[in-house]
Amino acid sequence: MIRCILVDDESNSLEMMEWLLKTYCPQVVIEAMCNSAEKGIEAINKFRPDVVFLDIEMPHMNGFDMLEQFEKLSFDVVFTTAYDQFAIKAFKYSALNYLLKPVDPDDLKTTIERLESRKALPTREQIDLLMQNVRGTSKQSISRIALTTNDGMMFVSTQDIIYCQSDSNYTNVVLTGGKKVLVSKVLKDIDDALHGSDFYRIHNSYLVNLNHIKKFVRGDGGYVIMDDGTTIGISRSRRQEFMELFEKF
């Protein structure tokens, strides 16, 4: 059983989320429905929920301001948002749960399953990273990403990522300075978060930072040499697109 609180200033959104949870997620118990951040704080202190479904844009006190009232989060958070695609990338960078409005039932069920298997609560640094990225005005303002590891979370600058290599259900993230981080996510998840921010999926097994390509060689099917000396072949199906992208970069 998961005990939750809903916080949203729009009554229609509250009622729809209530219906979705009762219809598709019977293991979730709704302790309170709050139409303001202030009431949300009161409900959290009273019920001590497992998770809070939280709207961001609310009058008087928004979702971020509400979370700042808690020195340490004793509950999980699922942000419900109608933000644009840039903001969605910010959520992926911070490795936090979110649902796009209007909420899709399948996305909701997947989120609940993820909450049931989650090993750790969100950290203050994750929330701060999300706030920093969402409040930015361009993709250049998103400069850090949260990497989920088996023993916690690592926050790194995207500029320090040289390339990412698939390793079954994990991903090896290679950083400047010779450091390598084993991330407990598949490469597709990393690609979804970093795609469009100077990163390119050069091969099924590799995602590279275009800023760290030292040399591009056309021969032997095409390959790149990264700043750390690693040679990575270019997938035949992606070669033409990569060449066009690299020439414009």
Domain CATH number, residue 236: 2.40.50.1020
Residue 174 half-sphere exposure toward CB, CA atoms < 13 A: 17
**Residue that terminates a domain, selected from 72, 104, 134:** 134
| 200-206 LR contacts (CB < 8 Å, sep 24+) | 200/242, 200/245, 201/238, 202/232, 202/234, 202/235, 202/238, 202/242, 203/232, 203/233, 203/234, 203/235, 203/238, 204/166, 204/235, 205/165, 205/166, 206/163, 206/164, 206/165, 206/166, 206/232
pLDDT for 135 equals 63
Is pLDDT of 156 > 90? no
Whether the predicted pLDDT of 141 surpasses 70: no
Do 119 and 31 fall into the same domain? yes
- Residue 110 confidence (pLDDT): 93
Helix, coil or strand: residue 203: strand
Q: Are residues 168 and 224 in the same domain?
A: yes
Number of domains in the chain: 2
Q: Are residues 87 and 183 in the same domain?
A: no
| 178, 230 contact by CB (below 8 A) | no
Residue 11 and residue 79 in one domain? yes
Residue 195 shares a structural domain with residue 89: no
Based on the fold, state whether residues 19 and 112 are members of the same structural domain. Answer: yes
Q: What is the pLDDT of residue 138?
A: 47
Where in the sequence is the domain holding 197, given as residue range(s)? 154-248
Q: What is the CA radius of gyration of the chain?
A: 20
Higher local confidence (pLDDT), 50 or 142: 50
Verify that 158 and 126 share a domain, yes or no: no
Same domain, 110 and 7: yes
Res 157 pLDDT > 70: yes
- Is residue 161 pLDDT above 90, yes or no? yes
Cα–Cα distance for residue pair 193/174, rounded to 1 Å: 16
Instruction: Work out the mean pLDDT of the chain and round it to a whole number.
Output: 87
Do 127 and 185 share a structural domain?
Answer: no
The pLDDT of residue 75: 93
Q: Of 102, 134, 166, which marks where a domain is finished?
A: 134
**Residue 148, in any domain of the structure:** no
* Percent of the chain at pLDDT exceeding 70: 90
Tell me which residue has tokens 């118990």.
29
Residues 120 and 160 in one domain: no
Distance, CA of 81 to CA of 103 (rounded, Å): 9
Q: What is the arithmetic mean of pLDDT over 133-140?
A: 56
pLDDT at 71: 85
Give pLDDT, residue 87.
Answer: 63
pLDDT digits (tens, 9 = 90+) for 52-91: 999 988 988 989 889 989 988 899 999 898 866 556 666 7
Average pLDDT over residues 142-156: 79
**Confidence (pLDDT) at 25:** 97
Name the more confident of 40 and 101.
Answer: 40
